[in-house]
Structure 1
């Protein structure tokens, strides 16, 4: 919420409540203050265009003007003139306005903690060797959409990258979020600049492939991705079309979810296993393009190190990263953030260093599939790894999603589903541990993972030995 937003909302709500509660404010005073607020709203609309949140404020200002007119009438006519517009009516409109503006703000993402500025660029490709399994068109090939987040030269100007695909033409719902509530997300500062020059401190930067959760957009992790880039990693974040809530394809179309559940699969394990394989193939396709001189353009392609690649992901993305590593020797490390494993990810040996970073089991209440799959993987580690649990963090604490609500709303939600640690503290802890873990396999300078975890109260866990084989 901008300063002008805050001023409009605060003054309008206070004025409405006072006007509704007392008759000491006369008609002329109410009309004058309502007109002043109307002018402020018009200025805001001219600056940013009309958004859904303005509707409640417009209704509230209209109610104030009607209330002023009503009070200007003779006493004997006031009871008949719009009698419904009493204290309760104005107070209710004030409450709606407050909810519309403060509980659905423009998110403010945490500032990246690393020493580098951040650049970003989006790439949209079509894989000619794979059909699209979600559609019936035999000529439809698999699209792979990647947003690069990378260390950039400081002080370079540039435009802000769009927060999410499809802004201006979003569907009615983006996951469980009303598309209308996201119309102002073009104002989100991701702390990155489009097409910024790559930082020159290294000739080539280590690569981290990232896969989001089931039904989630890569945008939901912008805070995490920008932070990792600021610490010296070239992050390639995927959107998986027809599963992510909205993806702009290479030809400009918007793809929205298509779910094709399998018969005789009540718990959907076969469906998720098959989809995990599709995602793993997406990750391997991106790994194929790392090092190609034409894949990421003349400025970026030479700066990616094809010999230093890791795969990480949140939730279903973590499971997809695990499977990708089991079938691709180029991937040197894997991190799973709170993901349930399916298919071979839950049974095959893990050949590279592995990090399992978990939300609080008491708050997320992980399923038996989650617990059993990750336990089996831990028992099949070939190169050892780490496992940590973040106290008072829930499954969504690794994402930007809690920031889509204001602080009062986050507090209320945390009382219901957990996550009282908060998104900023949760991301700071997870990113510190992730960066320390990735330093060894990708930078040949082993980071002190235990020390990184110890800087954050409430992290429990430690190193896991390699399994005997």
Structure 2
């Protein structure tokens, strides 16, 4: 499937095979003046007890030429690592740089001032000391939806970190509305214009392996690497990032569990199947068993030969599994009539599903009731049995 030119706010719809109703109503006739733009906009508070730190740095894979823009040279990535931290004073880290925020606002035609997006705050602080622990922390890799910065998974990332995970989010160059590098260059979505959807997951799988080498390889380069348990690694992704989680699991045996948040399997699972635990969480209308819009989950289900779960959250859409859900509410953006579930509630249920799954398979904790669709606290988590 061709990744169409990035010219409208609905590019993600066409590129990723979801209906227009799955996207927030960002094209509604609201003016910037009518939308909340003050800086005091915060993401949902993490549910864990630990403070969260954030390191953000560039990695250059000199063994590969960038697949989207070969003339640019080696493959460059920006990596954000959220981690359990010692409590320290100071302000939380910015959500995006102003250049990245402008790229997101322009690309999605949001009726917001880019400074308002850049001014969003989570709880993570940069440069804080890593919290020592008796046991090393499991690692979770995050890969965002196509055209989206990994910052749109910040709520999930900092929630996991607050519960004792190290979380590495990857901004894949030339695949988003804009990634700013330390030298000030901003790489926009060239892949939208020149790529095929089937190309993306294998490229991201290679990105993930390179990042894992940096974090837990023979010569790790991150300052907190000694606190990571290389025997306990999971990966989660939204949209095509979820497809990429499966590809990365197949390509790299270090990854022990995978999560796909509403992502089409553009690259099919291998005929030998995926024997490791895998979680599917999706929206109705596209990822309910038997849906005709996207048959890839039905086609892949029997190839998930290990522990597997499939959940649908009613009244959600494609971007409900990202920070768009709670932030749209906070900024006063028009609600999507096809995805009316409260943004904070969507975020809460998604985090509970992902954390319960990872706790069970990376930490060996008892299976949480939500994983069987039997937790009365989360009636929205509807387990599917194709």
TM over 0.5: yes
Question: 2:322, 2:260 → 1: CA distance?
Answer: 14
Question: 1:210, 1:366 → 2: CA distance?
Answer: 28
1:184 paired to 2:116? yes
Deviation per CA, 1:212-249: give whole Å up to 9, x if none: 00110111121121112112211101111111111123
1:457 paired to 2:382? no
Aligned mate of 2:152, from 208, 211, 220: 220
Give the alignment's TM-score, normalised by structure 1: 0.69
Give the alignment's TM-score, normalised by structure 2: 0.82
Aligned mate of 2:88, from 152, 156, 160: 156
1:245 paired to 2:177? yes
Unaligned 5+ segments in structure 1 are: 1-95, 263-267, 465-469
Question: 2:91, 2:249 → 1: CA distance?
Answer: 35
Question: 1:181, 1:367 → 2: CA distance?
Answer: 37
Unaligned 5+ segments in structure 2 are: 1-28
8 Å CA contact 1:437–1:446 kept in 2: the answer is: no
Relative to structure 1, is the Cα distance of residues 213 and 174 closer, same or farther in structure 2, using a 3 angstrom cutoff?
farther
Residue aligning to 2:21 = none
Question: 2:183, 2:378 → 1: CA distance?
Answer: 45
Question: 1:117, 1:254 → 2: CA distance?
Answer: 31
Shift of 1:346: 7.0
Deviation per CA, 1:136-184: give whole Å up to 9, x if none: 41x611012110111222x322342221145488448443045962213
Relative CO higher for 1 or 2, CA cutoff 8 Å, sep ≥ 6?
A: 2
Residue aligning to 1:286 = 211
Residue aligning to 1:142 = 75
Question: 1:193, 1:333 → 2: CA distance?
Answer: 28
1:332 paired to 2:267? no
Relative to structure 1, is the Cα distance of residues 197 and 408 closer, same or farther in structure 2, using a 3 angstrom cutoff?
closer
What's the C-alpha RMSD, in Å, of the aligned pairs?
3.0
- Aligned residue pairs total 355
Relative to structure 1, is the Cα distance of residues 437 and 402 closer, same or farther in structure 2, using a 3 angstrom cutoff?
closer
Q: Secondary structure at the match of 1:438?
A: helix
Aligned mate of 1:119, from 53, 58, 83: 53
Residue aligning to 1:28 = none
1:211 paired to 2:143? yes
> Within 5 Å, which residues of 2 pair with 1:243-392?
243-249=175-181, 251-259=183-191, 271-292=196-217, 295-298=220-223, 300-345=224-269, 349-361=273-285, 368=292, 370=294, 372-392=295-315
Question: 1:173, 1:98 → 2: CA distance?
Answer: 13
> Within 5 Å, which residues of 2 pair with 1:18-57?
none
Relative to structure 1, is the Cα distance of residues 351 and 109 closer, same or farther in structure 2, using a 3 angstrom cutoff?
same
Deviation per CA, 1:422-469: give whole Å up to 9, x if none: 2210111011111111112211223312377542122211689xxxxx
Question: 1:181, 1:209 → 2: CA distance?
Answer: 30
Shift of 1:350: 1.1
Question: 1:452, 1:152 → 2: CA distance?
Answer: 33
Question: 1:341, 1:428 → 2: CA distance?
Answer: 25
8 Å CA contact 2:54–2:128 kept in 1: the answer is: yes
Question: 2:222, 2:331 → 1: CA distance?
Answer: 44
Q: Secondary structure at the match of 1:184?
A: helix
Residue aligning to 2:63 = 129
Aligned mate of 1:428, from 336, 340, 348: 348
Shift of 1:400: 1.5
Larger Rg: 1
Question: 2:104, 2:261 → 1: CA distance?
Answer: 29
8 Å CA contact 1:351–1:383 kept in 2: the answer is: yes
Structure (1 or 2) with the greater helix fraction: 1
8 Å CA contact 2:101–2:118 kept in 1: the answer is: no
8 Å CA contact 1:102–1:406 kept in 2: the answer is: no
Q: Secondary structure at the match of 1:312?
A: strand
Shift of 1:329: 0.9
